[in-house]
Structure 1
Amino acid sequence: MTTKRPFTHIDTWVFDLDNTLYPHHVNLWQQVDRRIGEFIGAWLKVSPEEARRIQKDYYRRYGTSMRGMMTEHGVRADDFLAYVHQIDHSPLQPNPAMGAAIARLPGRKLILTNASTDHADKVLQRLGMDAHFEAVFDIIAADLEPKPAAQTYQKFLKDYGVDPRKAAMFEDLARNLVIPHQLGMTTVLVVPDGSREVVREDWEMEGRDDPCVDHVTDDLTGFLQRLAR
């Protein structure tokens, strides 16, 4: 049996944003997902069905659909991000319990996301958590190379002077925990609680038993509250 890494030595807490700091069933990401399909369809002049196929193919192969569109079709990141993040953030509700639990964690708290800082700021403001995080490392800071690319984690760690052996990473995709775990981070996979239907690809739901996953939770607030105690 593999020993799961503990949290006793952690001084830096790293969080993904979408579908991690808020529940999957809010389906905020579905708005972004839909606009990505619209952008691809308009850019490539293809049907919605073909746009969807391309979108998901690039997402799986390149880490984000945007990276695929940049690589394969010369799309500018600014144009893509400006379009896809024009969404309604109002489904997000403040989560003071999670905010308080994050505030009680000892050490630094950082966001590492494949989204833009603009989107992250709006999400954190709606959740009432914008005061709890030192910084957001977004897709621009990552030189447009999304997780799970190894160089993205390396750049994040270097930019913020983080020792991965003293850091924990919270993510909703197991594949985005492979490199952090290899680097020595304690990893937590955040999964849907099963109470409501969520719209995800099958492969996005895999990985709970992957060796790169130290801990799994379907209740991040409760998980953090226990850690803070």
Structure 2
Amino acid sequence: MTNKPDPLNFAHVTDWVFDLDNTLYPHHSNLFSQIDVKMTGYVADLLKLSHADARELQKRFYKDYGTTLKGLMDRYDIDPDDFLQKVHDIDYSWLVPDPSLSTAIKQLPGRKFIFTNGDRGHAERAAGQLGVLEQFDDIFDIRAAALNPKPARAAYDRFLDLHKIDPAASVMFEDLARNLVEPKALGMTTVLIVPHNFEPTFSEIWERDPGNTDHVDYVTDDLASFLNSILPKLMSETV
């Protein structure tokens, strides 16, 4: 694992895969905290629990099932569309457009994808507010994954098969190390996006995945700077 990318190690990449929440947009925007609050409220309303009990159950489902939604579906047979609509009813103006990131993604040689455990509408609104939506070839959301969330192997297999992606010629950017375990096993290059200055504001300790760093090739707290550091060599290779 290294923080200094060698551009030559990305010369083979033809497909660039980006998580959305706390990856494409920065952790310090705190946008996901709105979704987090909505999920706690959903669990509390559904099961008539106190806020504290709902919060504890929400986080347990997230840890055990990959997402709160998957836990609620398996345990309580909820309507996923209702859940996704309600938890993504948030204020996207918290995101500041990032022209540098948009330009960097545009210049990457090959195809670009968003791969998210959220739904397409959320991804489109967030990426649109960030100013990067038009740079992507497609969005692979939780519905496209047949409601199987990362880090389940089925989600990655479905994504790779749908878009005919060679894992050995692709790279995945994620804010959760556990979501890079399967990509690394499949042969993808992996990049972990961490909060600026490595100080998360609302993550639980287990959400930071201290035991999964063996599956991380690179770490950065600034996605645009990371991409810009490898772009000159990549662009010269394609001229």
TM-score category, normalised to shorter length: over 0.9
Rounded Cα–Cα distance in structure 2 between residues aligned with 1:208 and 1:40: 29
Runs of 4 or more off by more than 4 Å in structure 1?
Answer: none
Structure 1 residues 1-229: aligned runs within 5 Å: 6-194=9-197, 198-207=201-210, 210-229=213-232
Cα deviation 1:143-191 (Å, max 9, x = unaligned): 0010000010000000001000000000000000000000000000000
| Letter paired with 1:70 | M
Q: Residue 136 of structure 2: SS of its match in structure 1?
A: coil
Matched-pair contact (CA < 8 Å) for 1:105–1:227: no
State the Cα distance separating 1:130 from its structure 2 match.
1.1
State the Cα distance separating 1:206 from its structure 2 match.
3.1
Q: Residue 189 of structure 1: SS of its match in structure 2?
A: strand
Matched-pair contact (CA < 8 Å) for 2:174–2:180: yes
Number of residue equivalences? 228
State the Cα distance separating 1:208 from its structure 2 match.
8.2
Larger fraction in helix: 2
State the Cα distance separating 1:207 from its structure 2 match.
3.6
Matched-pair contact (CA < 8 Å) for 2:181–2:212: no
RMSD of aligned residue pairs (Cα, Å) = 1.8
Rounded Cα–Cα distance in structure 2 between residues aligned with 1:197 and 1:185: 26
Rounded Cα–Cα distance in structure 2 between residues aligned with 1:85 and 1:163: 32
Matched-pair contact (CA < 8 Å) for 1:41–1:51: yes
| Letter paired with 2:39 | I
Identical residues among aligned pairs (%): 47
Cα deviation 1:121-160 (Å, max 9, x = unaligned): 0011101111100000000000001000001000000000
Rounded Cα–Cα distance in structure 1 between residues aligned with 2:11 and 2:214: 20
Deviates more, 1:169-178 or 1:217-226: 217-226
Report 1 or 2 for greater relative contact order, CA contacts < 8 Å, sequence distance ≥ 6.
2
Rounded Cα–Cα distance in structure 2 between residues aligned with 1:208 and 1:17: 22
Matched-pair contact (CA < 8 Å) for 2:178–2:212: no
State the Cα distance separating 1:25 from its structure 2 match.
1.1
* Cross-structure match for 2:237: none
State the Cα distance separating 1:205 from its structure 2 match.
2.0
Rounded Cα–Cα distance in structure 1 between residues aligned with 2:186 and 2:67: 22
Q: Residue 14 of structure 1: SS of its match in structure 2?
A: strand
* TM-score, normalised relative to structure 2: 0.92
Rounded Cα–Cα distance in structure 2 between residues aligned with 1:18 and 1:108: 20
Q: Residue 147 of structure 1: SS of its match in structure 2?
A: coil
> Structure 1 residues 108 and 146 mapped into 2: Cα distance closer, same or farther (>3 Å)?
same
> Structure 1 residues 208 and 194 mapped into 2: Cα distance closer, same or farther (>3 Å)?
farther
